[in-house]
Amino acid sequence: MIEATQRDIFERLNHLRLVLSFIKQNESTSPLIEDSLEVINLRGLFYVMMYSLVEYSFSRCLYDLINFFKNKKIKLSGFFSVSVII
């Protein structure tokens, strides 16, 4: 369970590294030269992917932790769930 989550997170991290590597290879070395539209869009995609990786990692780790407690039959007394209605 935890190993599968770790593998998924590292796979997503490798995709993120590939995008960053592609951006570094194709962006201009001079700050005076404007980058291509493709590089600019890929930078935006990089930030979206980075946020997605953080969100996915956090939610999967929390899910695995809850399942760990559930499988070990550990009672979480004093904890309760909160639902927010928008």
How does residue 79 score in pLDDT terms, banded at 50, 70 and 90?
A: low
pLDDT of residue 70 exceeding 90? no
pLDDT 10s digits, 11-69:
999 999 999 999 999 998 888 899 999 999 999 999 999 999 999 999 999 888 888 88
What pLDDT is attached to residue 51?
Answer: 96
pLDDT of residue 80 exceeding 80? no
Report the predicted TM-score, pTM, of the whole model to 2 decimal places: 0.72
Which own/partner contact pairs does 61-70 have at CB distance under 8 Å and 24+ positions apart?
A: 61/5, 64/1, 64/2, 64/5, 67/1, 68/1, 68/2
